[in-house]
Amino acid sequence: MQDNKQQDRRPPGLMSVIQSTLAAAFGVQSNKKREKDFSDGKPSQFIIAGIVFTALFVLTLLAIVNTVI
């Protein structure tokens, strides 16, 4: 059974990292998905995705504010 679990452990793909980042940003990340991310993913993937998301979010807010003003 251990071998079966280790075979299922593969690093998350780009879409999985993006989905996890968005879900975590909005506070709707499931505990099961969070545990899978921590066990299978590299922290650097999620740190970079978080930084990119934050930068895009701030730039989007700035664009909206500048459009309104």
Per-residue model confidence as pLDDT tens digits over 7-39:
566 777 888 888 888 888 888 888 888 888 888
Query: What angle is formed at CA 13 by the lines to CA 50 and CA 53, rounded to 5 degrees?
Result: 20
* pTM beyond cutoff 0.85: no
Q: What is the pLDDT averaged over residues 41-57?
A: 90
By CB neighbour count within 10 A (0-12 exposed, 13-18 middle, 19+ buried), where does 11 fall?
Answer: exposed
pLDDT at site 53: 93
Alpha-helical segments (H) within the chain: 2-8, 14-26, 31-40, 43-68
Task: Tell me the C-alpha distance between 5 and 7, whole Å.
Answer: 5
